[in-house]
């Protein structure tokens, strides 16, 4: 528990940036027009792919006894994969709506 408190104290500025990024992201996404949802989904898929690669790299570089970094890396990989698969499924479904019916 002391290690966690020391980490938070030494990285307080990064925590503030993370909280600010969360609030800005929520406000930006909330105000996106409906027409832009499909192009933004493609961008989100690309970003999720970067998150997956980054999480795998972090997991490979972490100490095998550091269960916190391994668990966070695993959660990042799983959530990134879910986001990519869901994004492709939604995009494919939207593209099916524009195809001519037989």
pLDDT, tens only, 49-92:
888 898 899 889 988 898 888 898 899 899 888 888 887 887 78
Per-residue confidence (pLDDT) for residue 38, from 0 to 100: 66
Average pLDDT, the chain: 83
What single DSSP character describes residue 64?
Answer: T
Question: How much is the average pLDDT of 22-48?
Answer: 78
Residues 6+ apart with CB under 8 A from 45: 83, 84, 87, 88, 91
Model pTM score: 0.57
Residue 30 · residue 58 · CB < 8 Å: no
Per-residue confidence (pLDDT) for residue 90, from 0 to 100: 78
């Amino acid at each position: 528990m002391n290690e966690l408190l020391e980490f938070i104290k030494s990285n307080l500025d990064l925590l503030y940036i993370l909280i600010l990024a969360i609030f800005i992201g929520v406000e930006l996404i909330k105000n996106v027009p409906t027409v832009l949802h499909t192009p933004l989904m493609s961008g989100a898929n690309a970003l999720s792919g970067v998150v997956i690669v980054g999480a795998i790299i972090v997991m490979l570089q972490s100490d095998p006894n550091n269960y916190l970094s391994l668990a966070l890396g695993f959660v990042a990989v799983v959530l990134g994969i879910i986001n990519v698969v869901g994004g492709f499924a939604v995009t494919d479904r939207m593209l099916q709506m524009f195809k001519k019916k037989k």
